[in-house]
Amino acid sequence: MPRFCSSCGAPIGRTAPVACPACGKEHWLTTSRAAAALVVHEGRLLLTRRGLEPWLGRWCAPSGFCDGPEHPAATAERETLEEAGLRVRVTGYLGHWVDEYLPGEEGGVEPQWCAVSYYHAVPAGDLELRLDPREVSDAGWFLPDELPRPLAPPSNGARIYAAWREAFRAGRLETLLADR
């Protein structure tokens, strides 16, 4: 929660959204846009093990934050290349989940949130993985019922990968991408 107003410095004492009781300045929670690529090859899903916080050591789809006006599907493709060294082509859309990315600090600032769009994708070149050790400590291809643990994000990971398994089994990895 914003403890002090960024405009006048008065104590606020309530979770955003809130207006400063002294000057009326409005304070809002913010969410960063991000995207992930659910890359499938020969029935296996590519997952990377996070090499940095938050969620250090947890497994997730290659993912990251959108750069400015970058379309989330382009972000998913770019992040897969950056993190795993793998060129991919987005083929469909799974869904959108919001998670707490960094917790708020006691007596400090509001938590940071990320809103992640999950896209289905396929390799668009060679399959050699070239991991970025600053972001990823390991990677692998996993069968739908043999995904590693623990998954990231902690709050929604199980739901996201359950939705992916359902789409995979139903043959719904290619969907219309009308906004692209």
Whole-number Å distance between alpha carbons of 9 and 58: 39
Q: Where are the domains of the chain?
A: 30-169
Query: What pTM was estimated for this model as a whole?
Result: 0.86
To which residue do tokens 């009308």 refer? Answer: 178
Q: Which fold has domain 30-169?
A: Nucleoside Triphosphate Pyrophosphohydrolase (3.90.79)
pLDDT in tens, 71-116: 999 999 999 999 999 999 999 999 999 998 877 665 555 668 899 9
pLDDT in tens, 29-84: 778 999 999 999 999 999 999 999 999 999 999 999 999 999 999 999 999 999 99
**Burial class, 115, CB count within 10 angstroms (exposed 0-12 / middle 13-18 / buried 19+):** middle
Distances (CA, A) of 151 to 58, 86, 93, 119, 161: 5, 21, 20, 17, 9
